[in-house]
Amino acid sequence: MSWGQSMHRFANPARFLRLSAALLPWSAGAAVILTIVGLYLSLFGSPPDYQQGETVRIMYIHVPAAWMSLFVYTNMAVAAGAGLVWKHPLADLFAKAAAPIGAGFTFVCLVTGSLWGAPMWGTWWVWDARLTSVLILFFLYLGYMALVNAFDDPQRGLRAGNVLLLVGIVNVPIIKFSVDWWNTLHQPASVVKMGGPSIDPTMLLPLLVMAGAFTAYFVAVVLLRLRAEITQRRIQTLRLSAAGEGAQG
């Protein structure tokens, strides 16, 4: 089976609903367990930083939220491409379902970054490359959500939103490499870097567990939202069919 055939195999809403029903309890359970374990390791199982003290614990929320903001947007852009090129019926709905979750992660990233930066930098905000590009990412999420709801024809809104997602993907590598390309107050990468992580294992473990918790949470919530979108689409189709039959009668 080719990649295209396997992709369209799950385009059937009924098949997707069966698959998501099986995945949902596992992803939700993983999110709860990993969150509990991650919070325990973050608050009690890891030491304070020798420079930042207890303030470093904000990292265990800030960094996974930053990772997820990029992860969700990248997946939305991939879905946008599938929707525009292959007319995948669930790709557009996935992007629409994922957008509020990605915006939430980005908002958490910005807020926790400010809380972390205030004692470290002496200011809540600076217009450096990393912070500014993440703020642009947040506006891209908001712009997408506004755009898909700005048209009377839902399909036109989804197509316009897909174009915005594909244009905005250029911001993702800018966020990732901004600390390497420009002078910035933001610290350079310490986990995903050439030569391996430079962060201490006692801090790396809770960071990775929290990243797993955030990922499982995203999977669970996006499945719920996508199932709701499919149900709403079915209701709209039935209403249109009933209205057409009424007009003919």
Quick: pLDDT tens for 190-246.
555 444 455 778 888 999 999 999 999 999 999 999 999 998 887 776 776 666 666
170 closest CA partner among 140, 144, 142: 140
pLDDT at 194: 43
pLDDT at 112: 94
Across the range 140-165, mean pLDDT stands at 93
pLDDT at 197: 55
142 closest CA partner among 132, 154, 150: 150
What's at 247, amino acid-wise?
A
Say how far residue 98 (Cα) sits from the centre of its chain.
7
Is residue 178 very low, low, confident or very high in pLDDT (cuts 50, 70, 90)?
Answer: confident
How many Å apart are CA 57 and CA 115, to the nearest integer? 11
pLDDT digits (tens, 9 = 90+) for 76-124: 999 999 989 888 878 999 999 999 999 999 999 999 999 988 887 788 8
pLDDT at 186: 56
How many Å apart are CA 92 and CA 89, to the nearest integer? 7
Q: What letters, b where the CB count within 10 A reaches 16 and e where it falls short, cover 108-141?
A: bbbebbbebbeeeeeeeeeebbbbbbbeebbebb
What is the rounded (10 degree) CA torsion for 78, 79, 83, 86?
A: 60
What 3-state DSSP class applies to 184? coil
Q: What letters, b where the CB count within 10 A reaches 16 and e where it falls short, cover 191-201?
A: eeeeeeeebee
Give me the domains of the chain, ranges plus CATH numbers.
24-238 (1.20.120)
Bridge partners, residue 69, by sequence: none
Judge whether 80 and 166 are in contact, CB under 8 Å.
yes
Is pLDDT of 12 > 60?
Answer: yes
| pTM more than 0.95 | no
pLDDT at 153: 84
165 closest CA partner among 247, 96, 88: 96
Is pLDDT of 48 > 80?
Answer: yes
How many Å apart are CA 134 and CA 211, to the nearest integer? 18
